[in-house]
Amino acid sequence: MERMTKLSNANYLHDVPAQCFAVNETNRLYIDRFINENYQRLSDKFTLLDGTINSSAFGAMDKLNETIVSLYTDPNLCFSNWKEADNYLTSKFTEKAIRVVVKKPTKPDEEDRESWEEL
């Protein structure tokens, strides 16, 4: 299983150890495809906002890359097909004011799994 290192902000006044998170391999190919197809568009869009720094001292490009890392390392995220992944990921990178909320696809819990098996 591959691991991804989450880099810390180098501007902190004290050392912050790098945090390692396991990559959710179930979703990796879907996220890779989405990023390959959309990163330049997203990068251009976020670069326009990069002069704004939020309360955590992150710029827009930092937030874009942090969101991408969080998608790779989210253990509860579980796509079942490309259409579901594309819908969720497109929604994730749409401005909140115009976003149509798409429910996060997760692994079915035991009760849901039993009802799915009956169908």
Domains of the chain: total: 1
Task: Work out the pLDDT band at 52, boundaries 50, 70, 90.
Answer: low
Residue 77 lies in a domain: yes
Residue 56, domain extent: 25-118
User: Using the 8-state DSSP alphabet, how is residue 7 labeled?
Assistant: P
Residue owning tokens 């002069």: 51
Under 8 Å between Cβ of 92 and 74: no
> Which whole number is the average pLDDT over 40-66?
77
Round to whole Å and give the CA distance between 32 and 73: 13
Residue 2 lies in a domain: no
Residue 113 lies in a domain: yes
Residue 60 token pair: 């827009």
> Which whole number is the average pLDDT over 69-94?
91
Residue 4 lies in a domain: no
Round to whole Å and give the CA distance between 52 and 35: 23
User: Using the 8-state DSSP alphabet, how is residue 5 labeled?
Assistant: E
Task: Give the pLDDT of residue 119.
Answer: 41
Residue 104 lies in a domain: yes
Q: Assess whether pLDDT exceeds 70 at residue 99.
A: yes
